[in-house]
Amino acid sequence: MFRANMFGLPLWSIAIPLATCALLGATWGQSASWGLLLLIAGGLIAAVLVAVYHAEVVAHRVGEPLGTLVLALAVTVIEVSLIISMMLSGGAETHALARDTVFATVMIICNGVIGLCLLAGAIRHRVVAFRVEGTSSALSVLAALTTLTLILPEFTTTSPGPSYAPSQLAFAGLMSLLLYCVFVFVQTVRHREFFQPPGAQGEEEHGPVATKAGAVISLGLLVAALVAVVGLAKMLAPSIQRAVEAASAPAAVVGIAIALLVLLPETWAALRAALRNRMQTSLNLALGSALATIGLTIPAVGLVSILLDIKLILGLPAKEIVMLILTLMVSTITLASGRATVLQGAVHLVLFAAFLFLAIIP
């Protein structure tokens, strides 16, 4: 394998992020033909794979659990930027964009990603193990954040409709950011051992640790790859929307499809960890991504909504509230014992299938 002389990184890991960013810049705003769509899709897949590689390089350098935050935070920051840009350029159809994106992300992660990792890991290793102290902490924060931001707005009376008044929105955004920051402090400083792989899971060989300069280069290439992932996914969105309209499916399906594309790097990284019998790393990445999505998205879009007087719909309809509560309840039961089998993975994947099915046929 060819390697860069100075930093010990494979040549392809440097070339792909630069090439996909160049593809994004060259094709941005153009009407895409079928050939161009195939090229964009290929570039998206390549960007996903190289993003996971660089995330693992950085994670291996800084160690667990801090390493699992790198990919989650990078994806979330870029996703928040994308949401805000669409809110500023869109009309009334973007008022519920943040809500739909956050809800879809939580459902995809808690049911799709975790279910896939549990199933794949248990098929290969029969029983997967993880630390209850870490997973229960993350779930308690997730339950509080989702209730505060996605359920309560449906029942408040100060503002009409499923939305917060400006003062309520400011409070919810501030509390979400504060609670997420406390969780990150607990995960990375105060009780870091709660989020480290138990037993022999943390003793696998991952090759030599990257140099400090190599890790910094990988971090920059990771950001570049994630910019390409989000941008290319957005370029594919119109084609997905046309396909959804041709199938007479609800508009919410477009948001789900875009969320699935944006979450590809995290999903692939979590699945690789599960197959290596490092389920704690998978859960750190998955649950951390869900928490980052709420803890960073709601404060950011709330601030933009207040400053620019843009209406922000946050409250979920009744069907989505039921699915969210069911997901949180099953997740709590699944992760309560510190061990899981193929059964738990199957349960979460069935809930994920129900989420997709009911989104298409409400």
Helix-helix angle 66-89:212-246, to 10 degrees: 40
Would you write out the chain's pLDDT as a tens digit for each of its 362 residues?
344 445 667 888 889 999 999 998 888 777 767 778 888 888 888 887 888 788 778 877 776 666 667 767 777 777 777 777 777 766 666 788 888 888 999 999 999 999 999 999 999 999 999 999 989 999 999 999 999 999 999 999 898 889 999 999 999 999 999 999 999 899 888 888 888 877 644 444 444 566 777 788 888 888 898 888 878 877 776 776 677 667 776 767 766 877 787 788 788 889 999 999 999 989 998 998 889 888 888 998 899 889 988 888 999 999 999 999 999 999 999 999 899 999 999 999 999 999 999 988 88
> What residue spans of 186-278 are helical by DSSP H?
212-246, 252-262, 264-275
Helix-strand-coil split of the chain, %, nearest 5: 80, 0, 20
pLDDT value for 179: 94
Task: Give dist(CA 186, CA 182) in Å, integer.
Answer: 6
d(CA 251, CA 118): 31
Q: Which fold has domain 11-201+208-360?
A: A middle domain of Talin 1 (1.20.1420)
Mean pLDDT of the chain: 84
Cα separation, 342 vs 124, whole angstroms: 10
pTM above 0.85, yes or no: no
Residue 83 · residue 91 · CB < 8 Å = no
CA distance 199 to 196: 9
Q: Is 92 helix (H, G, I), strand (E, B) or coil?
A: helix
